Structure 1
Amino acid sequence: MTRIEFHFNTTERLLHTCRLLRKARAQDLRIAVVGAPATLRQLDAELWRFQDVAFLGHCTPESSPEVQEASAIGLGPDPLLWGTKEVLVNLGDEVPGGFDGFERLIEIVSNDEHGKAQARLRWKHYKSLGFDLVQHDLSKSTEP
Protein backbone atom coordinates (compact mmCIF):
# COMPACT_ATOMS: atom_id res chain seq x y z
CA MET A 1 0.00 0.00 0.00
CA THR A 2 1.22 3.51 -0.81
CA ARG A 3 2.81 5.37 2.09
CA ILE A 4 1.28 8.87 2.17
CA GLU A 5 2.99 11.73 3.97
CA PHE A 6 1.84 15.31 4.44
CA HIS A 7 4.57 17.91 4.91
CA PHE A 8 2.96 21.07 6.28
CA ASN A 9 3.79 24.41 7.92
CA THR A 10 6.63 25.24 5.59
CA THR A 11 7.28 28.89 4.90
CA GLU A 12 9.45 28.08 1.85
CA ARG A 13 7.55 25.40 -0.04
CA LEU A 14 9.76 25.18 -3.14
CA LEU A 15 12.98 25.26 -1.12
CA HIS A 16 11.63 22.42 1.04
CA THR A 17 10.75 20.51 -2.13
CA CYS A 18 14.30 20.97 -3.45
CA ARG A 19 15.71 19.63 -0.17
CA LEU A 20 13.33 16.70 -0.29
CA LEU A 21 14.33 15.91 -3.88
CA ARG A 22 18.02 16.11 -2.90
CA LYS A 23 17.39 13.56 -0.12
CA ALA A 24 15.51 11.23 -2.45
CA ARG A 25 18.28 11.42 -5.04
CA ALA A 26 20.88 10.66 -2.36
CA GLN A 27 18.92 7.42 -1.85
CA ASP A 28 19.03 6.83 -5.63
CA LEU A 29 15.24 7.13 -5.95
CA ARG A 30 13.36 8.25 -9.06
CA ILE A 31 10.73 10.92 -8.43
CA ALA A 32 7.70 12.26 -10.27
CA VAL A 33 6.53 15.75 -9.26
CA VAL A 34 3.04 17.01 -10.14
CA GLY A 35 1.36 20.37 -9.66
CA ALA A 36 0.03 23.40 -11.43
CA PRO A 37 2.05 24.41 -14.52
CA ALA A 38 3.12 27.73 -12.93
CA THR A 39 4.30 25.95 -9.77
CA LEU A 40 6.28 23.41 -11.77
CA ARG A 41 7.93 26.21 -13.78
CA GLN A 42 8.93 27.89 -10.50
CA LEU A 43 10.29 24.59 -9.17
CA ASP A 44 12.22 24.03 -12.40
CA ALA A 45 13.87 27.44 -11.98
CA GLU A 46 14.56 26.79 -8.29
CA LEU A 47 16.21 23.44 -9.05
CA TRP A 48 18.64 25.20 -11.42
CA ARG A 49 19.81 27.56 -8.67
CA PHE A 50 19.23 25.41 -5.58
CA GLN A 51 22.84 24.37 -4.93
CA ASP A 52 26.03 25.70 -6.43
CA VAL A 53 27.96 22.48 -6.00
CA ALA A 54 25.37 19.83 -6.86
CA PHE A 55 22.89 19.81 -9.71
CA LEU A 56 19.59 17.98 -9.32
CA GLY A 57 19.04 16.64 -12.82
CA HIS A 58 15.41 16.92 -13.82
CA CYS A 59 13.20 17.13 -16.88
CA THR A 60 9.82 18.31 -18.09
CA PRO A 61 7.55 16.97 -20.83
CA GLU A 62 9.21 19.49 -23.17
CA SER A 63 12.69 18.01 -22.55
CA SER A 64 14.24 15.85 -25.23
CA PRO A 65 13.71 12.08 -24.96
CA GLU A 66 17.40 11.71 -24.09
CA VAL A 67 17.12 14.16 -21.19
CA GLN A 68 13.92 12.50 -19.99
CA GLU A 69 15.61 9.10 -20.02
CA ALA A 70 18.64 10.39 -18.09
CA SER A 71 16.66 12.36 -15.49
CA ALA A 72 15.66 10.85 -12.16
CA ILE A 73 13.27 13.73 -11.41
CA GLY A 74 10.34 14.40 -13.74
CA LEU A 75 8.19 17.53 -13.44
CA GLY A 76 4.83 17.44 -15.20
CA PRO A 77 1.07 17.06 -14.99
CA ASP A 78 1.04 13.28 -15.48
CA PRO A 79 2.88 11.31 -12.79
CA LEU A 80 2.86 8.18 -14.92
CA LEU A 81 4.79 9.85 -17.75
CA TRP A 82 8.17 9.21 -16.14
CA GLY A 83 7.93 5.44 -15.76
CA THR A 84 8.74 5.47 -12.05
CA LYS A 85 6.67 3.98 -9.26
CA GLU A 86 8.97 4.97 -6.40
CA VAL A 87 8.14 8.49 -5.17
CA LEU A 88 5.42 10.93 -6.19
CA VAL A 89 5.53 14.50 -4.88
CA ASN A 90 2.31 16.50 -5.13
CA LEU A 91 2.50 20.30 -5.24
CA GLY A 92 -1.03 20.61 -6.61
CA ASP A 93 -4.50 21.05 -5.17
CA GLU A 94 -5.94 17.79 -6.51
CA VAL A 95 -5.40 14.14 -5.66
CA PRO A 96 -2.92 13.02 -8.34
CA GLY A 97 -4.17 10.35 -10.69
CA GLY A 98 -2.45 7.01 -10.27
CA PHE A 99 -0.99 7.93 -6.85
CA ASP A 100 -1.85 4.49 -5.48
CA GLY A 101 0.59 2.88 -7.92
CA PHE A 102 3.54 4.59 -6.22
CA GLU A 103 5.43 3.28 -3.21
CA ARG A 104 5.32 6.71 -1.59
CA LEU A 105 3.29 9.90 -2.04
CA ILE A 106 4.49 13.12 -0.43
CA GLU A 107 2.05 16.01 -0.22
CA ILE A 108 3.78 19.38 0.18
CA VAL A 109 1.18 21.69 1.69
CA SER A 110 1.44 25.42 1.11
CA ASN A 111 1.14 27.57 4.20
CA ASP A 112 -1.75 29.72 2.97
CA GLU A 113 -5.43 29.14 3.74
CA HIS A 114 -6.21 27.86 0.23
CA GLY A 115 -3.39 25.31 0.40
CA LYS A 116 -4.43 24.14 3.85
CA ALA A 117 -8.08 23.81 2.84
CA GLN A 118 -7.19 21.77 -0.26
CA ALA A 119 -4.85 19.57 1.78
CA ARG A 120 -7.66 18.84 4.25
CA LEU A 121 -9.83 17.64 1.37
CA ARG A 122 -7.07 15.37 0.07
CA TRP A 123 -6.44 14.08 3.60
CA LYS A 124 -10.11 13.15 3.97
CA HIS A 125 -10.09 11.48 0.55
CA TYR A 126 -7.06 9.31 1.36
CA LYS A 127 -8.50 8.42 4.79
CA SER A 128 -11.81 7.40 3.20
CA LEU A 129 -9.85 4.99 0.99
CA GLY A 130 -8.25 3.41 4.06
CA PHE A 131 -4.73 4.81 3.78
CA ASP A 132 -2.68 5.43 6.91
CA LEU A 133 -1.34 8.98 6.77
CA VAL A 134 1.86 10.40 8.23
CA GLN A 135 2.23 14.06 9.23
CA HIS A 136 5.47 16.06 9.22
CA ASP A 137 5.16 19.47 10.88
CA LEU A 138 7.91 21.49 9.20
CA SER A 139 7.61 24.34 11.68
CA LYS A 140 9.50 22.04 14.07
CA SER A 141 12.20 21.15 11.53
CA THR A 142 15.82 22.12 12.06
CA GLU A 143 16.83 21.35 8.48
CA PRO A 144 18.97 24.09 6.91
Structure 2
Amino acid sequence: MTEILFYILKESAESRPAFACRLAEQLWKKGKKVLIHTENAAQSTVIDQLLWDFRADSFVPHQVLEASEIPPVQQVFISHLDSPPPQLMDVLINLNPKQPLFFSQFEKLAEIIDADPSVKQHGRLRYKFYQERGYPIETYNQ
Protein backbone atom coordinates (compact mmCIF):
# COMPACT_ATOMS: atom_id res chain seq x y z
CA MET A 1 0.00 0.00 0.00
CA THR A 2 1.30 3.45 -0.89
CA GLU A 3 2.69 5.43 2.03
CA ILE A 4 1.49 9.06 2.04
CA LEU A 5 3.88 11.76 3.27
CA PHE A 6 2.60 15.28 3.93
CA TYR A 7 5.27 18.00 4.11
CA ILE A 8 3.88 21.13 5.75
CA LEU A 9 5.88 24.25 4.90
CA LYS A 10 5.87 27.31 7.15
CA GLU A 11 4.64 30.64 5.78
CA SER A 12 8.17 31.97 5.50
CA ALA A 13 9.59 28.72 4.14
CA GLU A 14 10.72 28.25 0.57
CA SER A 15 8.19 27.70 -2.19
CA ARG A 16 6.58 24.35 -2.95
CA PRO A 17 8.44 24.00 -6.28
CA ALA A 18 11.82 24.63 -4.62
CA PHE A 19 11.01 22.14 -1.85
CA ALA A 20 9.93 19.58 -4.46
CA CYS A 21 13.30 20.00 -6.19
CA ARG A 22 15.21 19.52 -2.94
CA LEU A 23 13.17 16.43 -2.12
CA ALA A 24 13.68 15.03 -5.64
CA GLU A 25 17.42 15.58 -5.28
CA GLN A 26 17.51 13.70 -1.96
CA LEU A 27 15.54 10.81 -3.42
CA TRP A 28 17.65 10.74 -6.60
CA LYS A 29 20.82 10.51 -4.51
CA LYS A 30 19.29 7.45 -2.81
CA GLY A 31 18.71 5.84 -6.21
CA LYS A 32 14.93 6.31 -6.22
CA LYS A 33 12.91 6.90 -9.39
CA VAL A 34 10.81 10.03 -8.90
CA LEU A 35 7.89 11.61 -10.74
CA ILE A 36 7.03 15.24 -9.96
CA HIS A 37 3.37 15.59 -10.91
CA THR A 38 2.49 19.20 -11.74
CA GLU A 39 -0.76 21.04 -12.31
CA ASN A 40 -0.07 22.12 -15.90
CA ALA A 41 2.57 22.58 -18.60
CA ALA A 42 3.62 25.97 -17.22
CA GLN A 43 4.35 24.50 -13.79
CA SER A 44 6.25 21.62 -15.45
CA THR A 45 8.43 24.24 -17.16
CA VAL A 46 9.09 25.98 -13.83
CA ILE A 47 10.14 22.69 -12.19
CA ASP A 48 12.27 21.81 -15.22
CA GLN A 49 14.17 25.10 -14.90
CA LEU A 50 14.46 24.85 -11.11
CA LEU A 51 16.01 21.39 -11.32
CA TRP A 52 18.79 22.95 -13.40
CA ASP A 53 19.58 25.78 -11.02
CA PHE A 54 17.79 25.54 -7.65
CA ARG A 55 21.22 25.24 -6.02
CA ALA A 56 24.51 26.45 -7.43
CA ASP A 57 26.34 23.26 -6.48
CA SER A 58 23.71 20.77 -7.60
CA PHE A 59 22.29 19.22 -10.74
CA VAL A 60 19.50 16.65 -10.88
CA PRO A 61 19.29 14.76 -14.21
CA HIS A 62 15.65 14.87 -15.25
CA GLN A 63 13.21 14.85 -18.13
CA VAL A 64 9.78 16.35 -18.81
CA LEU A 65 7.44 13.59 -20.01
CA GLU A 66 5.21 14.30 -22.98
CA ALA A 67 2.18 12.26 -24.06
CA SER A 68 2.91 8.65 -25.07
CA GLU A 69 6.64 9.16 -24.73
CA ILE A 70 8.82 6.27 -23.58
CA PRO A 71 11.47 7.83 -21.36
CA PRO A 72 15.09 6.76 -21.38
CA VAL A 73 16.60 5.29 -18.25
CA GLN A 74 16.35 8.33 -16.02
CA GLN A 75 15.67 8.83 -12.33
CA VAL A 76 13.61 12.05 -12.12
CA PHE A 77 10.67 12.95 -14.34
CA ILE A 78 8.24 15.85 -14.51
CA SER A 79 4.71 15.52 -15.88
CA HIS A 80 1.34 17.25 -15.79
CA LEU A 81 -0.36 14.39 -17.66
CA ASP A 82 -3.21 12.51 -15.98
CA SER A 83 -1.93 9.17 -17.22
CA PRO A 84 0.52 6.99 -15.29
CA PRO A 85 4.18 7.02 -16.27
CA PRO A 86 5.23 4.37 -18.80
CA GLN A 87 7.60 2.72 -16.32
CA LEU A 88 7.53 1.85 -12.65
CA MET A 89 8.76 4.53 -10.27
CA ASP A 90 9.27 4.73 -6.53
CA VAL A 91 8.10 8.15 -5.35
CA LEU A 92 5.44 10.54 -6.62
CA ILE A 93 5.79 14.20 -5.59
CA ASN A 94 2.40 15.83 -6.11
CA LEU A 95 2.14 19.56 -6.85
CA ASN A 96 -1.30 19.18 -8.42
CA PRO A 97 -4.37 20.31 -6.39
CA LYS A 98 -5.95 16.87 -6.97
CA GLN A 99 -4.62 13.47 -6.06
CA PRO A 100 -3.31 11.76 -9.19
CA LEU A 101 -5.48 8.84 -10.27
CA PHE A 102 -2.37 6.64 -10.50
CA PHE A 103 -0.81 7.46 -7.09
CA SER A 104 -1.29 3.91 -5.77
CA GLN A 105 1.27 2.61 -8.31
CA PHE A 106 4.04 4.24 -6.24
CA GLU A 107 5.70 3.13 -3.00
CA LYS A 108 5.38 6.66 -1.61
CA LEU A 109 3.43 9.81 -2.40
CA ALA A 110 4.76 13.16 -1.15
CA GLU A 111 2.23 15.98 -0.77
CA ILE A 112 3.71 19.46 -0.22
CA ILE A 113 1.46 21.97 1.55
CA ASP A 114 2.24 25.63 2.28
CA ALA A 115 0.39 28.54 3.90
CA ASP A 116 -1.59 29.49 0.79
CA PRO A 117 -5.30 29.09 1.68
CA SER A 118 -6.15 27.32 -1.59
CA VAL A 119 -3.21 24.91 -1.25
CA LYS A 120 -4.21 24.19 2.37
CA GLN A 121 -7.83 23.53 1.43
CA HIS A 122 -6.95 21.17 -1.41
CA GLY A 123 -4.40 19.48 0.88
CA ARG A 124 -7.03 18.89 3.54
CA LEU A 125 -9.33 17.29 0.97
CA ARG A 126 -6.54 14.99 -0.24
CA TYR A 127 -5.58 14.11 3.35
CA LYS A 128 -9.19 13.14 4.07
CA PHE A 129 -9.35 11.12 0.83
CA TYR A 130 -6.25 9.09 1.76
CA GLN A 131 -7.28 8.71 5.40
CA GLU A 132 -10.78 7.44 4.53
CA ARG A 133 -9.22 4.77 2.32
CA GLY A 134 -6.84 3.56 5.02
CA TYR A 135 -3.55 4.72 3.53
CA PRO A 136 -0.73 5.14 6.08
CA ILE A 137 -0.05 8.87 6.48
CA GLU A 138 2.94 10.65 7.99
CA THR A 139 3.20 14.42 8.46
CA TYR A 140 6.42 16.43 8.57
CA ASN A 141 6.52 20.09 9.60
CA GLN A 142 9.31 21.86 7.75
TM-score by length of 1: 0.85
Is the counterpart of residue 119 in structure 1 residue 111 in structure 2? no
In 1, Cα distance between equivalents of 2:140 and 2:43: 21
Q: Supply the AA of the counterpart residue of 1:34.
A: H
Aligned residue for 1:23? 26
Q: Higher helix proportion, which one?
A: 1
Gaps of 5+ in 2: none
1:33-53 superposed Cα distances (whole Å, 9 cap, x missing partner):
112122222111111112333
What is the identity percentage for the equivalent residue pairs of Structure 1 and Structure 2? 27
In 1, Cα distance between equivalents of 2:121 and 2:113: 10
- What secondary structure does 1:70 align onto? coil
In 1, Cα distance between equivalents of 2:18 and 2:103: 23
In 2, Cα distance between equivalents of 1:28 and 1:110: 27
Shift of 1:61: 2.2
Shift of 1:82: 4.5
Q: Supply the AA of the counterpart residue of 1:112.
A: D
Size of the aligned set, in residue pairs, is: 136
1:115-142 superposed Cα distances (whole Å, 9 cap, x missing partner):
000000000000111112100111xxxx
| Matched ranges for 1:10-49 at <5 A | 10=10, 11-12=13-14, 13-37=16-40, 38-49=42-53
TM-score by length of 2: 0.86
Runs of 4+ that moved beyond 4 A: none
Is the counterpart of residue 69 in structure 1 residue 79 in structure 2? no
Shift of 1:77: 2.2
Aligned residue for 1:103? 107
Aligned residue for 2:93? 89
In 2, Cα distance between equivalents of 1:129 and 1:119: 16
Gaps of 5+ in 1: 139-144
